[in-house]
Amino acid sequence: MCSIQITLRYCLVFGLLLGCTEQRLINSTSNLSTDQQLQESPGVTTISPEQLPPLASGQVVYVPIYSEIYNFDQNQVTQLASNLSFRNTDINNFIVIETVDYYDSGGKKIRSYLTQPIKLAPLASTSVIVARNDQTGGTGANFIVEWRAADRVSQPIIEAIMINTSSQQGLAFSSPGRVIKER
């Protein structure tokens, strides 16, 4: 009888913990569109394509994303949440992020994160999140980001931070963007 009570208590506690974790995941996954999530940051505004500034400087940036990594072999993978961060490092001038496209391991475009360009004020930053349970990218996922500015500006920082804090261990690392084309 005692072992049944302990088992029931264990199941109840485990179920409550699992339910709380599930609720946190649901709450952290906003119902906002990606455009709206990007706009939530201070210093970020949406502009229409007609409002794009003349191109004085800009780049196309490739950012590797590791939405999952192998543990010991190809049969064991760890899922990672990815945070793609955009940081305008210029003190005086804004930049415009025109394109944020997500690709899978095979090079197939999965989705675009912007429907309209966004303007980042001087020293402003914003980010997009690829949820840990989003396995569409695979081990070789990546982003292509295009940005521009009306003046010569200091190069923005565009990088990804991957994280998984399941169990009693944590795993986090960053992946810098690489310029693949000057504009």
Q: Does 19 or 100 have the greater pLDDT score?
A: 100
Q: Which pLDDT band holds residue 38 (cuts at 50, 70, 90)?
A: low
Chosen CATH of 32-182 out of 1.10.150, 2.60.40, 2.30.29, 3.10.450:
2.60.40
Continuous segment of H or E residues that includes residue 14: helix 2-28
Rounded Cα–Cα distance for residues 24 and 20 (Å)? 6
Domain map (residue ranges) of the chain: 1-31, 32-182
Query: Does the pLDDT at position 2 exceed 70?
Result: no
Compute the mean pLDDT over every residue in the chain, rounded to the nearest whole number.
82
**Token code pair at residue 158:** 């565009």
**Token code pair at residue 15:** 């179920």
pLDDT in tens, 62-101: 999 988 888 777 778 888 999 999 999 999 999 999 999 9
Burial of 13 (0-12, 13-18, 19+ CB in 10 A): exposed
Residue-wise DSSP of 101-162: EEE-TTS-EEEES-SS-EEE-TT-EEEEEE-TT--SS-TT-EEEEEEEESS--PPPEEEEEE
Q: What is the pTM of this model?
A: 0.78
Q: Does 16 or 64 have the greater pLDDT score?
A: 64
If DSSP codes are grouped into helix, strand and coil, which group holds residue 16? helix
When mean pLDDT is compared over 10-24, 29-43, 67-81, 111-125, the highest value belongs to: 111-125
Report pLDDT for 171: 85
If DSSP codes are grouped into helix, strand and coil, which group holds residue 166? coil
The CA-to-CA distance between both ends of the chain, in Å, stands at 74
Task: DSSP letter for 75, please.
Answer: T
b (16+ CB within 10 A) / e for 94-123: bbbbbebebbbeeeeeeeebbeebbbbbee
**Strand partners of residue 161:** 83, 174
pLDDT in tens, 143-163: 999 999 999 999 999 999 999
Task: DSSP letter for 156, please.
Answer: P
